[in-house]
Amino acid sequence: MDKIEDQKKFKDKNNLPFPLLSDSDGKLVKAYGVKKFTPKISGRESFIIHNGKIAWLDRKASPKSHTSKVLEALKNLKEDNL
């Protein structure tokens, strides 16, 4: 639920080669059923969307293991020809 500017700073700081989504109004948090802790803080969850459908999700994304989980999911999805 970070602001666009905050997402851009994070992306630039970490040299991420993909866009980050900002959901400052909480519409996606609600649509995807992400738990909210306060009006501006939600749970850390990740979704891989392919062809308009959720192809993979992690409802308990942990910074320590998240990158390896996402990379493994992408590898598996690629192998499944998604």
pLDDT, tens digit (0-9, with 9 covering 90-100), for 2-26? 899 999 999 999 998 988 889 999 9
Instruction: Give the pLDDT confidence score for residue 59 in this predicted structure.
Output: 92
**What is the Cα–Cα distance from 70 to 4, expressed in whole angstroms?**
23
pLDDT of 72 > 70? The answer is yes
Q: Which two tokens stand for residue 52?
A: 């308009």
Instruction: Give the pLDDT confidence score for residue 31 in this predicted structure.
Output: 93
pLDDT of 82 > 70? The answer is no
Rg (CA), the chain: 14
| Closest to 34 in 3D by CA, of 68, 73, 1 | 1
pLDDT, tens digit (0-9, with 9 covering 90-100), for 34-71? 999 998 889 989 899 888 899 999 998 888 888 899 99
pLDDT of 1 > 80? The answer is yes
For the chain, the structural domain boundaries read 1-37, 44-82
